Chains A and B, each alone.
Chain A
Amino acid sequence: MATFTWYLQGTTATTVDATDIFQFAAATFNSPITVGAYNDTTHVETSVGGDKSSGNTPKNSKYLTSSTVSISGGASQNLNTVTTANSPIKINFSHGTSVQTTSAVFYAYDGTTTSAAPTEVTFKAAEQGDSTWTDAEGSASAVSLNDQAASTSHDFFILASVSPDTVGLKTAFRFRCELTYF
């Protein structure tokens, strides 16, 4: 049976379970990001509002320019120099038999209609190794993930950065991954 598992990477990876959410924040957990600014930290929040990733020093990717990023508060670097270990989001696709993956994509949407952009949020994403960020808002604008050769386990490493367009908590905002395998 095939399974997807999502992680927020850090000194130890935090598994993002079905009832958890990704939280993008300013300097600390639950701190709001100023309108027009981008996230300084990324966390996994439990269904009761707990900081699930607090002990794992989670990674953060902050959009600076179309081709640069700050990783966990570090200096500006070219996006394509970020390592897999420093990529905040890891999605593992496992399959009991050895399969190839093709046409994988990652994007954010409004939580209702996959073609719709998240509401009142500017979203940037990239696959590890990409040279430029993608405005991955809605399925038509998804980040394309590299095809992978036959294996029983496939890891996709992703950088994501978020900026609120208006004041207030943004919840019409959801991540989605699609892939083809055989």
Chain B
Amino acid sequence: MTMEHNVKWQVSLNNGETLYEGKGNFVEVEGELSAWNKMQEYILVNNLEITSLSLYTDSGQRWNLPSKGNNPKFRAFDLAQKPYKLQLERVFGMDYDAQQNPERYTTINAFYDYEGVTYKLSIWVDERNTNNTWTFFVKA
């Protein structure tokens, strides 16, 4: 059985590759590693690094984190501090009597180091209604 999320990740790597959840080797197959963990294994084995991380839906919605890349089109991005780590997480929340309809979010996080303190920029997208999106910036 193949399982997919409504909100999927896309990563670009420092070797120029772009990988997508649900495509190629990164499909979700029951009993196997999650697509994200497969991708993490792939970059570890090949000594690669994620340079950008986005979320997308099949209907065309898209959410981008600031990139770690070195060739942004706009000066503002060029001057901005680059995140040192990009990460995906999925979040579940539920009351015991809401088992049929738990709150589910797919989140992407960019981590920054500023004067020895780690900060996290997060984008949360509601899997049940992808028009609901939140962003926050916190000390990690």
Total interface residues on B, CB under 8 Å, equals 29
Q: Does A159 contact B (CB under 8 A)?
A: no
Which residue of B is nearest A111, CB measured? B95
A174 to B95, CA, bound (A): 7
Q: Does A95 contact B (CB under 8 A)?
A: yes
Q: Does A12 contact B (CB under 8 A)?
A: no
Q: Are B30 and A5 in contact (CB under 8 A)?
A: no
Q: Does B37 contact A (CB under 8 A)?
A: yes
Report which A residues bind B (CB closer than 8 A): 1-6, 16-22, 93, 95-100, 102, 150, 152, 174-182
The 8 closest A-B CB pairs, nearest first, are A178-B93, A97-B34, A96-B30, A96-B3, A6-B96, A180-B89, A175-B96, A99-B34
Q: Are A3 and B91 in contact (CB under 8 A)?
A: no
Q: A93-B92, A96-B3, A98-B34 are in contact. List 20 more A-B contacts (CB 8 A).
A: A2-B102, A2-B104, A3-B99, A4-B92, A6-B99, A16-B97, A96-B31, A97-B34, A98-B37, A99-B90, A150-B34, A174-B97, A175-B95, A177-B96, A178-B91, A178-B93, A180-B89, A180-B91, A181-B92, A182-B90
